[in-house]
Amino acid sequence: ALIRYSSFCRATKQYEKAVDLLMFRDSLQQIINKADKERESKNFISRLQISDLEHQNKLQETSLANSHRMVVVSTTCAILFFFLICAVGYICYQRKKRLDVIMKQEKEAEQLESSATPEKEKSLTPEEKLYHAAYEKVRLQKLYLNKDIRLKSLAEMLKTNHTYLSSCINTCYGNNYNQWINDFRIDYLLGRIHSGKKLSDLAEEAGFASTDAFYRNFKRKTGLTPNEYLKQHPKKQNPEETVLC
């Protein structure tokens, strides 16, 4: 409308009024443009504020979710730790209980043995007492490893007569002195037969005067030759092949 009126003024040669109208139109347009910019600026700020609020809400929700997860994880860990402590405590208690029972049984067994030993010793005959003394001396001092150990020398150690000692061994063991002492040697050798040493070396170490005596006594005591024994009783773990004679 202002443009048409301004054109009318120019047509009627009212130039000054036409210029004023154009200037008024420009001023009005500037006011409108400014108002539009302010409105757009306010809208932009509002959008920024809304976006910021949404971002803050998301952060808060994430923080709450993380806090909730932390609470759940902490609670779960605490419960598991509690049950773990209880389980360890229970296992320790059961072990201690079993250990106490074992110690009690061992103590009772020792008491029974100590109380029974004097009665047993009282009931032994003189022959049995001498045989027991000879057995313990040969076993503990490993006299059987000496191939020169003789009945007479053992009797002298025990301060007794060799004939009487021989009679005691025959009566209590059921074999003569030579078989008795050789049985000690066989038992010693059986504990080392898987050592990897030659059987001849083991026989000499055990106190046998000859390989023939070793084979003969081994067969008598075990019912097997050394080779047969090794085949029927192989070493179970980390076997080392024994070198045969």
- In this prediction, residue 241 has a pLDDT band, given cuts at 50, 70 and 90, of very low
Confidence at residue 72, expressed as pLDDT on a 0 to 100 scale? 86
pLDDT in tens, 109-129: 676 666 555 555 568 899 999
208 falls within a domain: yes
Residue 130 sits in the same domain as residue 203: yes
**What residues make up the domain containing 59?**
2-68
From the list 202, 180, 176, the residue with the least C-alpha distance to 189 is: 202
Indicate the residue type of 87.
A
**pLDDT of 169:** 95
Report yes or no on 102 lying in a domain. no
Same domain, 46 and 140: no
Choose one of 68, 83, 104: the last residue of a domain.
Answer: 68
Rounded to 10 degrees, what is the CA torsion of 187, 190, 219, 222? 70
pLDDT value, residue 113: 61
Of 192, 170, 180, 187, the closest CA to residue 135 belongs to 180
What per-residue confidence (pLDDT) applies to 243?
Answer: 42
* Global confidence as pTM: 0.49
Are residues 156 and 226 both part of a single domain?
yes
| DSSP-derived 3-state class of residue 202 | helix
Number of domains the chain contains: 2
Domain boundary (53, 68, 83) is at 68
Residue of 106 and 20 predicted with greater confidence = 20
Phi, psi of 195 (to 5 degrees): -75, -15
Q: What is the largest CA-CA distance in the chain?
A: 172
Structure tokens at 209: 């005067």
Residues 217 and 153 in one domain: yes
What CATH number does the domain containing 193 carry? 1.10.10.60
* More confident of the two residues 203 and 29: 203
165-183 per-position pLDDT tens digit: 999 999 999 999 999 999 9
- The token pair at 201 is 């070396």
Q: What was the pLDDT predicted at 199?
A: 92
